[in-house]
C-alpha cells in the first residue's frame, strides 16, 4: 500500500466516520470518536468487501461507501459490546 493510497483511506475514513455516526445513532462515540472509527472502518471496508466478493467500483464515491460500511459495522459491534457491559470505555 503506497503512502498516497493510505492518505486517501484516511481522508475517506474521516468522511465515513461522520456518516456512520449519523446512520448508527445511539451507538456513536461523539464526533472525534466516530472519525477515529471511520478511519479504522475505512481500513476494514477496503480489506473486507473485496474478500467477500463485493465490488463497488472505483473512485472516491465507491471508497466512501466501502469505508462507511466498514465504519457502520465497527460502530455497531463496539456499541453492542459497550452496551452489554462486557467492555466499558
> Phi and psi (nearest 5°) for 75?
-60, -40
Given a cut of 80, whether residue 4 has pLDDT beyond it is: yes
> Which stretch of DSSP H or E encloses residue 31?
helix 30-51
Least Cα distance to 35 among 22, 23, 17, 19 occurs for 17
Q: How big is the chain, counted in residues?
A: 89
Average pLDDT, integer, range 3-32: 76
What are the domain boundaries of the chain?
Answer: 14-83
pTM of the model: 0.73
Average pLDDT, integer, range 10-30: 76
The Cα–Cα gap between 57 and 75 comes to 24
Give pLDDT tens digits for 44-89.
888 888 888 888 888 888 888 888 888 888 887 877 777 655 544 4
Q: 14: which DSSP letter? A: H
Given a cut of 50, whether residue 16 has pLDDT beyond it is: yes
Amino acid at each position: 500500500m503506497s503512502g498516497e493510497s493510505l492518505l486517501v483511506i484516511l481522508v475517506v475514513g474521516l468522511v465515513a466516520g461522520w456518516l456512520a455516526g449519523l446512520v448508527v445513532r445511539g451507538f456513536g462515540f461523539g464526533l472525534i470518536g466516530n472519525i477515529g472509527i471511520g478511519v479504522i472502518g475505512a481500513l476494514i471496508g477496503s480489506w473486507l468487501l473485496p474478500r467477500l466478493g463485493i465490488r463497488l467500483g472505483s473512485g472516491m464515491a465507491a471508497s466512501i461507501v466501502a469505508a462507511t460500511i466498514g465504519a457502520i459495522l465497527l460502530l455497531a459491534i463496539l456499541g453492542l459490546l459497550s452496551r452489554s457491559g462486557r467492555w466499558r470505555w
